Amino acid sequence: MKEEKINAVLQNLKDSNSSIDGAALVTSDGLMISSNLSKNMDEDRISAMSAALLSLSERAVEELEKGVPEQVTIKGDNGYIILTSASQEAVLTVTTSKSAKLGLIYLDVKKSAKQLMEIFGA
């Protein structure tokens, strides 16, 4: 039941904006919980990189005394990667096209992360 709810949240997120290429829910240890990614994306690689980026952002925020990281956005030549906390144990990773309107995507990501937190009881 929980898995179906998580899958529905990820599908709804991806469907909410045509600029979203994929969405994945990953544990802080780098294990994939659920994903809705393009076929050319490697789930294992996405989950491992998400965990590494989360860990690095936590250290950076701590070292610079900025509290707890809520979101990480990386801009690349071909789009964006957005990581957002979805519970104490999980991070929501979203990939977008380079033409993405980030303001709208941030709203959709925030809404989805809140729904995932409710599923996890956080």
Reference 34, options 70, 71, 69, 9; nearest CA is: 9
Q: What proportion of the chain, given as a percentage, has pLDDT over 70?
A: 99
Q: How far apart are CA 82 and CA 39, in angstroms?
A: 19
Decide which of 87 and 14 is more confident.
14
**Which domains can be identified in the chain, with CATH numbers?**
2-120 (3.30.450.30)
Supply the pLDDT for residue 34: 95
pLDDT digits (tens, 9 = 90+) for 36-59: 998 888 999 999 999 899 889 989
Please give the Cα distance from 23 to 96 (Å, whole number): 9
